[in-house]
Amino acid sequence: MASSLKSLVNDDDRYQKSFQLFLERSSEHQCMQDFIHNKLPDILASIGDGKSHLNVIGVGSGAGEIDLEMLSELHKKHPGVMVDNEVVEPSHQQLYNYKVLVSQKPDLDYIKFNWNTMTASEFEEHWKAEKATKKVDFIHMIQMLYYVKDPEATIRFFQSLLGKNGKLLIILVSGKSGWGKLWRTYRAQLCQPDLSQCVTTGDIKSFLDSKGVRYQSYELPSQMDITECFTEGDEKGELLLDFLTEVLDFSNTASPELRAGVLEMLRHPDCSVESNGKVIFNNNLEAIVLDQLS
């Protein structure tokens, strides 16, 4: 990545602003909720092996809205079962928001929350240092593998924690999404070498296939209105461009050639469709479910 371009993750305040705008402009959470309420219950039905206590780990849990929806579905499938829930989230602000959300929700007595203000790799080090031996029934990694150095090693570690009938759920942008096309074209210019920001489910499935690891996958259709990106100087458009490129202040720090190329790519039929004066980006996600290592 050119040294003049800084990653958006270096400025948590701007990252959170652009992320919130992304959620407003996209159907990201809706497509996840459709999956959680319609597909996940069947996946969760087989975990636990009749135990009265389930161990869950959420990696990169953010502010917890999605976590609590998944835990609710888990509770419906396994009523009366106690849940030990490890929350792994490096952002103090997001973890605080999660705790506030928990304090406002009734009927969570069946969950014991353990808060870990750390990255996935820090949690791995902590787990190994503690020589923890407990096996985990359900682990979820939602939209977080972009922020680790080695997604394959991260998946291998967390999959190794699964107990009998345990499930590991990974949700990332689909390799067939607009993100996939954008990243395949501009990976060298946009992606930080020490992070795997430009990873899609296409990359993960290639790795799993090469190792002969079996998995189930589910496409989650989603879209995002990026019309404002094409109005120069539009404040919201600039925030969305930062989010799409993962570059801090992209419009003002990228070369004119790179900016023009990215904007042209975002309009390309492989990335977006134009309808009624709006540019609608293909934000499709994909869920991958892994079992215990055999």
Q: Which domains does the chain have, with CATH numbers?
A: 8-291 (3.40.50.150)
Is 283 known as a binding-site position?
Answer: yes
Q: CA-CA distances (angstroms) from residue 239 to 21, 24, 73, 108, 211?
A: 8, 12, 34, 36, 39
Q: CA-CA distances (angstroms) from residue 290 to 72, 141, 161, 201, 224?
A: 21, 11, 12, 13, 28
DSSP β-ladder status, 136-142 and 223-225: unpaired
Amino acid identity, residue 180? G
CB 235 within 8 A of CB 17: no
Q: What is the DSSP letter of 20?
A: H
**Look-up of token digits 């209105």:** 225
- Residue pLDDT tens, the chain, 294 long: 444 688 888 888 898 899 899 999 999 989 999 999 999 999 999 998 889 999 999 999 999 999 999 999 999 999 999 999 999 999 998 999 999 999 999 899 999 999 999 999 999 999 999 988 899 999 999 999 988 889 999 999 999 999 999 999 999 999 999 999 998 898 888 876 665 567 899 999 999 999 999 999 999 999 999 999 999 999 999 999 999 998 999 999 999 999 999 999 999 999 999 999 999 999 999 999 999 987
CB 289 within 8 A of CB 159: no
